[in-house]
Structures are given as C-alpha cells and as structure tokens.
Structure 1
C-alpha cells in the first residue's frame, strides 16, 4: 500500500473511532443530562403528552388527565380546583410542577420503579406509558367543611385549616385561603398560563401560598398546651392543681408596662388559681409564670418533642412554586422574660397550622406524635395497589398520664371556658383558643383554635388559623371565629 492511501485509511479510521466515541458519550454518559435539560423540547413535549395518573380523594379524581384534540394528546384538569389547589399544585408545560403533582411526579408520570411491571406491559403492548394513581388521606367532607368555614368569614380571608387523624397522622383536611384555579396554569394556551401566573404572583393576598405549611406565625394562647405539658411533665402539677395566678405578672428582669403581663379582664385568681380555671380563661399571667418556672430549656425541649425546630413533612415541598416549607420555631436560648413571653406563644415562637394540629393530635393520642402524611396508597393505572403508607411515630412528646391531664383541662375549656364555640352535643370535645399579637401596629392579631374529639378516643384533631379577615381588630378572637370552623370539621369526620 502506497503512503497516500495509508494516510487516508488511518484518517478514516480515526474519524470512525471519533464517531463511535461521540455516539457512546451521547448515548451513555450525556443522555440523562440532555433528557433533564429544560431546553430539550422533544423530551418536554413527550412528558407533557403522556397519560398522567390521577390524584384521588376516595374514588374521585381531584387531578386527572383527559384526552385533548391537540398536539399534546392529554390535558391536565382539576375538577374541584379551588378546594384542593393548595394540595394538588399544578402540572404546567416545561417542568413547571408544584404541590403533590411535583412530589408524586414519578408515580403520576409512570416512571416510579414500583410501576416497572406496568411500564413493561405498556411497552410490550405497544401502548404509551401510563402513570399510576395516588390516593390521598383527605376526607372530602372534612375538606369541604374547612373550606366553607374559612370562605364564609367576611372579606378577603387569609387563613388555613388542618385536620389530622391522631392515631396515624393521616391528613384529613388541608385548606388554605385565598386559593387559586390551577386549571388556568395548566392549559395548553401557554400565553394565557403566563398571564394568569403573573397575576397571582402580583396579588398582595398571595393566593399561591399554602398557609397550612408555608406560613409560620405566633400561635398565641394555643401554645399554652405546650407550656401546660411542660409544667405537668415536671411532676409539680396535674389537672387538679393550684397554679400561680394573679391579675398581672411582671416578667423577671423587667419594669414598667413593657414587661407587664395581664389577662384582659379575665378572672385568674390572686396568688393562686385552679389549673382548670386558668386554662378555661386562658390566663396569660399563669402560663407566663409556669414558663419561667420550668425554664427556657425545658420549655424548648417540650416544644421540640411536639415537632418544633424540625422538618418532618416533605410531601408538599416546593408547593405552589415556593422552594421551602415554613419551619415552626422555638427560640434557642431565651432569657427569663423571653421565656415568659414564649410560654404564651409570643416573643419568637412561630408555628404553622400543621404544627399546631400535631400538638393537639399528640395530646389526643396519649402523647404519641405521628408523622403527618397525605399519600395513602400508590396504585397502578389498572387500580392495583402497589404501595401503602405505614404510620410512623415521630416522638413520645408527653407521657400518657400527662396527655390525660391535659385532655381534662381542654375538655373543661370547651365545657366552661373560652373554647365553648366548638362544643358538640353528646360528644366530649377538647379545645383551646388563641389570639396572637402580630407585633405590628398596622397588622391585626391572628386568631387560632385547636381541638380534638371525641376527647377520650379522638378520631380527629383540628387547627384553625385566621391570619386576616374583614373583622374589627377588637373583635378578633380564636374562639369566636375559629371555634365554629373546627366544630364543623370535627362533625364532618365523626359523621362518616
């Protein structure tokens, strides 16, 4: 072979080798990167055109894919859009996915490893990949009762309701207001989608915010459950005890009105008062003194046993376009006056509605705090169950004895105290009101309410948070406005 032919042959061989190396790199090493690249229109179109699984409440879809007569073959729809928007989120073009649509995306798209057999069957049958269904823990009746209660309040209501099954941690209701219509963000008219999103983002009421898990506010007097738990756990008190009382209490290391705690005219005894009376009347002076007595570290430890300062819920991570969920917090090292304020749910104490529902549920469940969850079952496209969520205990927040003592106090608060709006005829209800100062002169107080029923064998625990409504500042009260909502939600669960 002469030299020119040899040079050309070697050149062709090198080019062929380079082609093989490039093909190998593209198909085996870079493939996943190209698939995940948001600019890859073919992959995005293929995913958007897939028959996506449904999100189910019972047998009823609250998010489903229906056939469409356009390029994308299927349209994602939300039949009860505003009722469930805070839970479902939305599935939009180009990887814009939020809420359960995002956290359960592998199941809904059919890519989850638990659906391998079904995926293989679809492939062999020359059918497109079908997504699996996700059945939720939500009670339709409880969800509707919570939504109706919040939206019946006057004005542009900002608030949330969460209901839990104490023994398992199942989320029976999760409602946030104001809400939005995810159908307007998931249509095939991408220009209209963008305009709808921009309008929601510009809305001062933040309808894309799921206040049940993305808003942490001072819990006010509902935090007195935690303070009472710490006091009883100390071994010094029970439900029949006399506790430090008084019309006013000067916080340690303070002087003047800035450090003076009062009870807004409620009867809280003199030197001492019955624990039941203190809880019934939500006596600030009592719980501030109890907090100082048990100490900041003990109170922090008790709060953390109920879930504060931890992240334990991820099913709605990134919900509604937000990157993180709110964390309920108790200050790290409060001094005595700060501890007194913390004991009544002020200072730097912050809680989400889900967290306060967990506190109530933990007391209702003999002190056991269960991990909350929304996904009950994962099903194949043919409705075969492929996985079921198993309840998981997070902590033993208090002893069973302490839980019983707290329940006695909370039943008395419904029967004879500030939580009476939650009373249900023929059923013992345990409950606690809360009205928390916002700390801003132009922002009204926040109204809270927590409860569970039946008190001796709870089937449901509820937290209601009203951040804002068209209510005169002086009339805002957790019992007046949150109590009836909690009652309706509890009744909806108990009637099932």
Structure 2
C-alpha cells in the first residue's frame, strides 16, 4: 500500500473510532442526562403516546391527560389552571416541563421503578402502558384562600402542617395558564411563552420556593430563639431598646421603624421588644449574642445555605456572612445579606408550633399505580430540633403577644389564639418594602403554620400580609371543624 492510501486508511480508522466512542458516550454516559433534559422534545413526543398519570389534590385531578384525535395521542390539561399552576407547573411539547410535572416526571410517565410490575403486566396482557398518579398534600381551601389573598399583588403563601411537614398550601402570584403551554399547537405555545417573557414579573416563577428575599423582622424570631436557648434570657428579661443605636465601629445610626420609640425608658422586656418589633433592641441583642449563636440557630431552623427537594427544588435560605458587629446588628433585624424563601419562613413558624421540632416539608402524599393501588407513601420525618419545648412555649407566648397586642393584630381570628410575627424588609432606595407575616393557629393547639410574602407591598407586614395569613389559617381551621 502506498503512503497516500495508508494515510487515508488511518484517517478513516481514526474517524470510525471517534464515532464509536462518541456513540457509546452518548448512549451510556449521557443517556440519563439527555433523557431528562426538559428541552428533549423527542422524549416528550414518545411520552405523548402514553397516558400520563394525574396530579391529584383531595380526590380531584388538577392535571390530567385526555385522548385526542390528532397525531399526539394524549393532551395534558389543567382544570383549575391558574389556581395550582405554581405547584403543577406545565408539560410542554416545546419547552419541556416544570415543578411537579418535572420533579415527578418518571412516575407520571410510567418509567419509575416502582411501576415495574405494572409494565411487565402490560407487556404480557397487551394493555396500553400508562403512568402513575401523584397525590399531593394540599388543602384546596387553603390554596384558594391563599390565591385570593394574593390577587393583584406579587407574592407567595406557603402553609404547612406543623406536626408532619405536609405542605397545605403553596400559592404564588402573578400566575399563568399551563394549558396554553401544554397544548398541541407549537406556535400558540411559543406566542404564550413570549407573552410570559414580556411580563414585568415572571408568572412561571414559584415565589414560595424559587427565590429568596430579605425577611425583615421575621428573622427576630430566630434571634429570640437564640437568646432564649442560652438560658440567660426569658420573655421578661429586660434588654436595651434605645430610640437609635450607633452601630459598632461606624457613625451609622440605626432607627426603629418610622423613627418611632420602642420605650420611654430606653429598655423593655424581650416579649415587648418582639411585640412592637423593636429594631434597636434586636440589633443590640444579636450583637450581644454573637454571630456563632445566631448562625447556629438560623441553620438549625433550615437556613443552611443549601437547596432542598420537597420534591420541588427549593432555593437556599441563609443569614449571610456578616463581617463585623455592625453588619451582625443589621442582620439581626433580617436585613444585610439575610435571605429567606417563604417556605423557609413557614418552617420557622412550624418548628415553634411543633414544640421545637422541625419536620421535613413534603408535597407528595402518595404515589398510585394506574389501578389506584398505593405503591409509595411519604412518612413524616423530623429534620432538626432547633429549640427545646420550653423555648418553643416561650416563643409561642411572645408571638401570641405580637398578634394580640402588637404589630400582628390584623391576623386575629375571633375565638382562636393566633401566634405570629410581622416583617417589613427594605429592598433599596425608592423601591417599596417587602411585607411578611409568619404565624400559626390555634396557638394552643397548632393545626397550620403559614408564611405570607408580598413583594414591594409598600406597607407593613402587619397591614399587608397579616390579613392574608388570617384568611388562610381560617380556611384550614374551618375545614378541620375549628
């Protein structure tokens, strides 16, 4: 063989070798990654020939597949579209899937290992394969009250069963219609996607878990817990509460909300400081406790800087990294670099309500095979014990005072003791504040813990978010016979 032919033969051999390596890399190493890529419409097209399982809330299908006469056998539909969109997400031929449709895709599509026996039976019987149902923990009354309360604002509500961690409500506004992203009309899907892209606030973002925000005075519950847990403080311990506080090492004067005075004497009890949400008192308290104690408590409540799965992906919450006592003081009133998701805020309230034990939040109650038999069920699981029961009782007393006598009066429910904490968080100059409320009810026998977040609400947590929380808690208690 002459030299030119030899070179050509070697080149062809190298190219074939590279091709074989690439094919094996794609089929073996990257197969799962490519299959689960939400942009892989080929996989989605194959799945459209199989009846996808339903997403179910309280016996009602909130996402279901119906047979069609077009080239794609099944169409995904959402009967209560905007109400549950933050939780269901969408199942799109063009843009893949999101939220529960994505996190539980393998089970809904029938590919999950827990449906293996069903797939084998389908093979032998000739029965058309189908996916399994995902049953969620949501309370329809809570979800409806939350979405109604958020109408016209940008925000989120997350409600939990404090004794189990089950998510009772997860609302986010603005919302959208997942039916328009899940149709069989590619151009219509793209047009609606462009419309959503052009919105001032992205309706596809689940603000309850998909982003974090400065929590303002809600964080004072964490600082209170850190103080009470030392054994050196009780709700009646008197602490400094000046009209202004010069932050250590600076000339910056920290004021109370609206320049108000917390106490005519410049000091007050810890319970009174939380009741009126005194900034100077809690900034100084955080400094006195030190960063290690405040951070340890924040992380015990779940603010560890790590994302979690419920199974929807939840953005991380953190108290940040204050570099000095001045920044620690500002962090202690929920500003500086403190960031929290509404789910995390609800977890703090739930831990206090549950005698100091934080349960792992979860959204999926049961997984059912196509014959409706239960193939898996979530068992409630403790996540951490940030505080002992005695401290939880003290915090409950303090948070009950907030609603009965202080900034959270708008969360009162006639005949029901309510515990709570308001929050008003500065964002930036000339931008309206964020408004928060966390709480639980009944305070003496907690059935629901809730967090309400209104982005740039412009008022206070007490007048903007607390009334929404009241309606959400009342809705659940009414359903429970409370």
Tell me if TM exceeds 0.5: yes
Contact 1:413 1:432 in 2 (8 A): yes
User: Alignment RMSD, CA only?
Assistant: 2.2
Q: 1:351 to 1:43 in 2, by over 3 A?
A: closer
Secondary structure at the counterpart of residue 308 of structure 2: coil
Please list every run of 5 or more consecutive structure 2 residues that lacks an aligned counterpart in the other structure.
1-15
Greater radius of gyration (CA): 1
- 8 Å CA contact 1:266, 1:281 repeated in 2: no
Q: Is the 8 A contact 2:356 2:391 kept in 1?
A: yes
Output one character per residue of 1:130-176: Cα deviation in whole Å (capped at 9) or x when no partner: 1100100000000000000110xxx5x21000000111111100000
Q: CA deviation at 1:229?
A: 0.6
State the alpha-carbon separation in 2 of the partners of residues 272 and 427 from structure 1. 31
Query: Aligned equivalents of 2:133 and 2:242: distance in 1?
Result: 58
Per the alignment, residue 446 of structure 1 pairs with 434
For residues 189 and 60 of structure 2, the distance between their equivalents in structure 1, rounded to whole angstroms, comes to 26
When residues 41 and 405 of structure 1 are mapped into structure 2, their CA distance, relative to the original with a 3 A threshold, is closer
Aligned-residue offset at 1:32:
8.5
| Structure 1 residue 36: Cα displacement | 3.3
Structure 1 residue 334: deviation in Å?
3.4
Cross-structure match for 1:8: none
| Superposition pairs of residues 27-426 of structure 1, within 5 angstroms | 33=31, 36=35, 43-93=43-93, 96-151=96-151, 155=152, 157-255=153-251, 258-263=252-257, 264-311=259-306, 313-315=308-310, 317=312, 325-426=314-415
Distance 1:237 1:494 in 2: 34
- TM-score (ref. length: structure 2): 0.90
Q: 1:87 to 1:239 in 2, by over 3 A?
A: same
In 1, the alpha carbon distance for the partners of 2:266 and 2:175 equals 48
- Aligned equivalents of 1:268, 1:381: Cα separation in 2: 64
Name the CA distance, whole Å, in 1 between partners of 2:27 and 2:426: 57
Alpha-carbon distance, 1:391 to partner: 1.1
What is the deviation of 1:412? 0.9
**Cα distance, 1:122–1:428 mapped onto 2, change above 3 Å:** same
Corresponding residue pairs, total: 455
Whole-angstrom CA distance in 1 between matches of 2:108 and 2:381 = 24
Closer, same or farther: CA 385–158 of 1 in aligned 2, 3 Å:
same
Structure 1 residue runs without a partner (length 5+): 1-17, 319-324
CA distance in 2 between counterparts of 1:316 and 1:261 reads 41
- C-alpha separation between the residues in 2 aligned to 1:485 and 1:212? 15
Partners of 1:89 and 1:54 in 2: CA distance: 13
Q: How far apart, in 2, do the equivalents of 1:138 and 1:37 lie? A: 26
Work out the CA distance in 1 between the residues paired with 2:290 and 2:45: 59
Deviation at 1:268, TM superposition (A): 2.7
Quickly say closer, same or farther: Cα 1:267–1:387, change in 2 above 3 A.
same
- Distance of 1:125 and 1:269 partners within structure 2: 81
- 1:82-111: CA deviations, max 9, x gaps? 111111011111670111001101110111
CA 1:266–1:60: 2 relative to 1, 3 Å: farther
CA contact (8 A) 1:162 1:462 kept: yes
When residues 41 and 269 of structure 1 are mapped into structure 2, their CA distance, relative to the original with a 3 A threshold, is closer
| CA distance in 2 between partners of 1:196 and 1:40 (Å) | 20
The residue number in structure 2 matching 1:480 is 463
Query: With structure 1 as the length reference, what TM-score do the two structures score?
Result: 0.87
- Contact 1:268–1:283 (8 Å) recurs in 2: no
Deviation at 1:202, TM superposition (A): 2.2
Q: 2 CA distance for matches of 1:372 and 1:41?
A: 32
Instruction: Give the superposition deviation at 1:492.
Output: 1.1
Moved more, 379-388 or 259-268: 259-268
Change (3 A) 1:385 1:269: farther
1:270, distance to aligned residue in structure 2 (A):
2.3
Q: Deviations over 1:101-122 (max 9, x none)?
A: 0110111011111111222222
Structure-2 separation of matches of 1:424 and 1:395? 30
Cα distance in 1 between the residues matched to 2:438 and 2:337: 20
**Equivalent-residue separation in structure 1 for 2:114 and 2:268 (angstroms):** 59
State whether residues 244 and 253 of structure 2, in contact with CA within 8 Å, keep that contact through their aligned partners in structure 1: no
Q: Which residue of 2 aligns with 1:464?
A: 452
